[in-house]
Chain A
Amino acid sequence: MSADRERREILIATIADLLDGIRHVAVGASSPIPAAGAMLLRARNELCGKPPVRISILGSQAHNFFTNGGIELFDCAAQGRVDAFFLGGGQIDGQGNINLVGTGDYPTSHVRWPGSFGSAYLYHLIPRVILFREEHSPRVFVPKVDFVSARAITPEVPRRGGPYALLTNMALFDFDREAGGFALRSVHPPFTPADIMENTGFAYREPEVVCETKRPDAATLALLRGRIFDELAETYPAFARTMMRAA
């Protein structure tokens, strides 16, 4: 239980670090860990007098300032007013393409997932898309996705958006848009670079020395276990409860 909480706290703190410098982050539905990361950044900026951070959490009333209906997030992204967003994927490949549709032959897929949501559009328009997928396994991280819901790189059209990083239960990767692939940045304790290699189905660059993902410091943990889980409880009561109970 406590290991689970620690794992999640590392993910949340890592997300806050990845978001550093942004003005507006949007968080999709059913994403408690990204939402907590965004709230941590907002609280941290507030406490140290850095520029304020806006957060739009889909499905929340308190943390959502949109008034123009479901289309507003998409219009806002097209206008360059959303700096960061999170996408996942049933499959993610080494070129950064994501599959939210299914495996096997389309349309009668072998495994069918809910669908592409806004990914095909938002991937083009939001500069800092953080790919977040907790399960780190070869069935998720594949050489080539069976269906491209959203493509990471499209030289045929100008775009400001695309993948920025990939965060999993085991590691953090950077995405290099020039090279069109991932590079391992850090590995979460207790995993090793060999574990990452074994569980990743695509090729990626690995530095000579792989860092350990930074554990959140005492001040960050205090903020998380207090204010952040309180704020999170409005949208994700069950998740916030579990985290607070474990703390």
Chain B
Amino acid sequence: MTEIVGLEALAARVGPGQSLAIPVDGSGVAMAATAAILETGISDLKLICVPISGLQADLLIGAGCVASLETSAVSLGEAGGAPRFTAGVKSGAFTMRDSTCPAIYAGLLAAQKGVPFMPIAGIIGSDLLNVRPDWQVIDSPVGEARKVVVVPAISPDVALFHAPEADRAGNVRIGRHRELADLAYAAKRTLVTVERIVDRNLLESEDSAAGVLPSLYVDAIAVAERGAWPLALWDEYPADEAEIARYAAMARSEDGFRAYLSAFLTHRKQVA
């Protein structure tokens, strides 16, 4: 059964050394939970961005929580490059596992289907194949005779995201953001924060059920109002562009980043 817990209890379920999968900005990023995880002083996370990340990954990297990073990109979007990611790559602060967006989805799909790898179109000729020895080019064993790339299954220890609402049974409304379901299907455990818990049953009609991730895939839920801030949550609130720009400017230096982080954690505690 899905447990409904407090934000700190939810954050405590992410442990050092675990692989943690997170969604792209705007899809439903659990920023309040990220603050709570940062408070635990976690280390050695294997971060998997599905398929890219921004502020969330940059904060975790800057705080020294990340041992390895699998992603297709880290960027603050309109606010520019992700400063702590860039600095961390250059100093070798973590193991970098460069990917390409559909390869991350393909790896999750393999885990979803319980198979060790997934074939995927394209990629051949890219230097990604040189820096990802776990990816291989094989002759297709069936069908059209041609070369095809295969990537290993990605089965994260924990998936973490934020959504507008869940019902009391733990069903979560994800709208058309099916990538959140892809995360949950592949992950061993899924933690979700929501703006609110609703009394109605989200599975009660075909209309409402179509945009819902059933509680079967959800281990724990915590309420976190404005839990994606300063990032956007679809149909709820836009991104706080000024705050993200402020981060982009401050995080250019290590000291500036520390100051931002400290204020960010304090702010989250005041909201909570």
Contacts and interface: CB of A to CB of B under 8 A. Distances in A.
10 contacts: A29-B77, A30-B77, A72-B178, A107-B131, A108-B89, A115-B75, A115-B99, A119-B100, A125-B121, A156-B125
Contacts of B125: 148, 150-151, 153-154, 156
B133 interface: no
Interface in B105-164: 105, 109, 120-128, 131, 146-147
Interface of B: 24, 26-27, 50-52, 71-75, 77-78, 81-82, 85-86, 89-92, 96, 98-103, 105, 109, 120-128, 131, 146-147, 176-182, 234
Given A61-B234, A107-B96, 19 more contacts: A67-B178, A69-B178, A71-B179, A110-B90, A112-B89, A112-B90, A113-B81, A115-B52, A115-B74, A116-B73, A116-B126, A120-B122, A121-B123, A148-B125, A149-B126, A149-B127, A150-B125, A156-B147, A161-B122
A61 B26 CA distance: 11
Nearest to A126: B122
Given A71-B178, A78-B121, A108-B89, A114 B128 contact: no
A124 B131 contact: no
A165 interface: no
B82 A114 contact: yes
Interface string A66-108: 1111111010001000000000000000000000111000111
B81 to A, nearest CB: 7
A149 B100 CA distance: 9
Contacts of A149: 100, 126-128
Contacts of A242: none
A21 interface: no
A30 to B, nearest CB: 6
A61 B102 CA distance: 21
B172 to A, nearest CB: 14
A151 B128 CA distance: 11
B227 to A, nearest CB: 20
A211 B69 CA distance: 47
B195 to A, nearest CB: 18
B101 A118 contact: yes
A107 B98 CA distance: 9
Contacts of A101: 98, 127
Contact of A112 (B24, B86, B102): B86
B252 to A, nearest CB: 14
Interface residues on chain A, size class: 35 or more
Interface string A154-169: 1011110100000000
Contacts of A74: 101-102, 105
A121 B72 CA distance: 12
A115 B126 contact: no
Contacts of B27: 70
Given A118-B101, A120-B100, A150 B81 contact: no
Contacts of A116: 72-73, 98-100, 126, 128
A157 B124 contact: yes
Nearest 10 CB-CB pairs, A to B?
A69-B178, A151-B125, A115-B73, A124-B122, A121-B122, A114-B75, A74-B102, A114-B73, A69-B179, A70-B179
Contacts of A68: 176, 178
Contact of A120 (B105, B123, B181): B123
A154 B77 contact: no
A153 to B, nearest CB: 8
A68 B178 CA distance: 5
Interface in A110-139: 110, 112-125
Contacts of B51: 70, 118
A69 B182 contact: yes
A109 B89 contact: yes
Given A121-B121, A151-B125, A114 B131 contact: no
A116 B99 CA distance: 7
Contacts of B105: 70-71, 74
Contacts of A106: 127, 131
A71 B126 contact: no
A189 B196 CA distance: 56
A59 interface: yes
Contact of A115 (B71, B109, B177, B179): B71
